[in-house]
Every structure is written in C-alpha cells, then in structure tokens.
C-alpha cells in the first residue's frame, strides 16, 4: 500500500470573487477546523459573518480571525469588492448548542441578528456538533449521552430554524447547509452509532425543509442541503492517539477516490462554498459528498 499523499497546505488569506458581498451568514462552531475554514471561505467572498463558539479561548480565536479578515479588506494591496459595498462585518457570540434551554441560546443569536443586521440572514451553516463515542453493550450508551447528542445535533437546528422562519429572518434565495458525516452511510470504527443517527436525522431535516420551506413566501428559492464529511484533519484528529490515528489515516486514504490522502478542512469548505453560491441554485434537499469519493451517495 502506498503512503498517503502530502497534505494540501493552507493558502495565505486572500480575497476571492466577491459573489457573496452583502450577504449575511451564520456559521456555528466558527473558530476551529472545518468551521474556521468555512468562515474564511465565505468572508473572503464578501459575506458578513455571525460566528458562534462555546468557550472563552474560542472567543479569542474568533476575534483574531476577524481582525485578520478585516485587515485583508482594508489593505491597500487588496482589491476592493466594490466602492458601493462595505466590507463584511464579523460578530462573534457564545452559544452552547446542547444547552438545556435551547430557546435561550437561539434568542441570543436572534438578538445579535436584530442588533447588527436588521434581523435578516442569507446563509446558515450548521457546523458545530456534539460528537460522542459510545460502544454498545459497554455501559456508555446512557440516556444522557443520547439526549446530549440529539440536543446539539437535532434539537438546536430545529428550534433555530423554527424561530427564524417564524420571525421572517431568511431572505429569498437563502442557503442552509448542514455539515454531516460519512458515518451515516459508510462503515466507521465502533462506537459512533448514536452520533451517526443524529446526523442522519439532520440530513432528513434538510430534505424535508427543502420541500416545506424552499418556496415559502419571503423565502422563495431558499435551498437546504447537507455535506457528508469524511475523515478530515481537524483539532479532533490531532487528539487521536498517534498509533491509532496513523492506522486510520492510511486505511481511509486508500479508499479516497481522488487522492491518496484524507481530507483537509479547506476541501470541505470548498464544497460548502459551492452550495451557498448562486451556481448551486438548482441543488436542494441533497446530500453532497465531501469525502473525496469515499462514501458514494446515489
């Protein structure tokens, strides 16, 4: 078996085509890994960002990223988006997606939207997730573990979208993207059944919301899609014990269809970036593969 290809090195921050200028995006879990890469992808295309996080260190990370992105736009060497369009704004807020009082957490987001963006929104990316590993028959699959997983991965998106729809937050032509997992349909190491089930439920919500809300008055042409993510180099990846991580990376890389490596966060951000674009206006209710072809979705 050949060794995995060298990783794709992160590119320096740079402005892209400003096709999202004037758009407002909510990205949950915006400070690390895939969420950070998605934030950069949308912001460098002109979108203002409300980014959520759950810890004080993450708040510092968001502030630092916002400063970098703001400096990028203000730099004299950076191309201007348009003299008629202001550079994007960055609002960070603390949000615990698995909090017992979900309505209170959602209200925090709604108040930030009202205060900073007149209560309107174009893009939502459900990236933050409660990741649990609990093997059946070993005593770790407890009711509280199940409740916590579904609270963060299912209940929170439901309560948030319900509030946004009721309050008329979404503008027409909106984009809602849920970051899912290849574990929904591909074999993964034991212990991920509860997490995978919660992601399968989230994918189902996207399909049903595509039918129910895609042409709701005021929300016309809004799309709802999921992105199926494979083994990707995130902070969680770096915490896996080295011996087990290397073995898992080699086996996963061998199953990827387009390269002999596992995913980088920029790979996933690029797929999300496609789905929020105008060019993806005819894709809705779908699950789009972001595993390098490892998990075939037909």
Q: What is the DSSP string of 88-104?
A: P-EEEEE--TT-S-HHH
The number of domains in the chain is 1
Helix 265-275 crosses helix 33-43 at what angle (to 10 degrees)?
50
Write down the pLDDT at residue 239.
79
Tens of each residue's pLDDT in the chain, 298 residues: 455 565 555 678 999 999 999 999 999 999 999 999 999 999 999 999 999 999 999 999 999 999 999 999 998 454 544 554 578 999 999 999 999 999 999 999 999 999 999 999 999 999 999 998 889 999 999 999 999 999 999 999 999 999 999 999 999 999 999 999 998 988 877 888 999 999 999 999 999 999 999 999 999 999 999 999 988 998 878 877 887 788 888 988 999 999 999 999 999 999 999 999 999 999 999 999 999 988 888 7
In a domain, 66, yes or no: yes
Write down the pLDDT at residue 297.
85
In a domain, 175, yes or no: yes
Q: Which CATH number do you get for residue 39? A: 3.40.50.720
CB count within 10 Å of CB 159 equals 17
Cα 37 versus chain centre, distance: 9
Q: For residue 103, how many C-alpha atoms fall within 13 Å in the half-sphere facing its CB?
A: 0
In a domain, 33, yes or no: yes
- Supply the DSSP symbol for 5: P
In a domain, 7, yes or no: no
Write down the pLDDT at residue 81.
46
Q: Which domain holds residue 68?
A: 24-290
In a domain, 117, yes or no: yes
């Amino acid at each position: 078996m050949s060794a995995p290809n060298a990783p794709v090195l992160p590119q320096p921050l740079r402005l892209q085509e400003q096709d999202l200028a004037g758009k407002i995006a909510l990205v949950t879990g915006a400070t690390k890994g895939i969420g950070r890469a998605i934030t950069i992808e949308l912001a460098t295309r002109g979108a203002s960002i409300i980014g959520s996080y759950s810890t004080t260190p993450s708040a510092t990370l968001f502030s630092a990223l916002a400063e970098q992105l703001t400096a990028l736009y203000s730099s004299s060497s950076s191309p201007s988006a348009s003299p008629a369009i202001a550079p994007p704004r960055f609002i960070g807020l603390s949000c615990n997606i698995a909090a017992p009082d979900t309505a209170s957490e959602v209200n925090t987001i709604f108040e930030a939207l009202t205060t900073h963006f007149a209560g309107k929104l174009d893009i939502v990316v459900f990236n933050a997730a409660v990741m649990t590993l609990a093997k059946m028959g070993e005593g770790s699959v407890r009711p509280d573990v199940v409740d916590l997983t579904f609270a963060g991965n299912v209940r929170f998106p439901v309560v948030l979208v319900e509030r946004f729809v009721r309050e008329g937050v979404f503008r027409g032509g909106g984009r809602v993207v849920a970051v899912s997992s290849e574990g929904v349909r591909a074999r993964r190491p034991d212990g991920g059944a509860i997490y995978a089930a919660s992601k399968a439920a989230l994918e189902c919500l996207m399909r049903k919301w595509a039918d129910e809300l895609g042409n709701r008055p005021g929300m016309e042409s809004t799309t709802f899609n999921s992105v199926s993510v494979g083994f990707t180099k995130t902070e969680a990846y770096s915490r896996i014990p080295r011996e087990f991580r290397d073995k898992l990376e080699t086996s996963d890389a061998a199953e990827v269809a387009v390269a002999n490596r596992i995913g980088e966060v920029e790979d996933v951000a690029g797929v999300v970036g496609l789905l929020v674009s105008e060019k993806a206006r005819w894709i809705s209710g779908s699950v789009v593969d972001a595993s390098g072809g490892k998990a075939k979705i037909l």
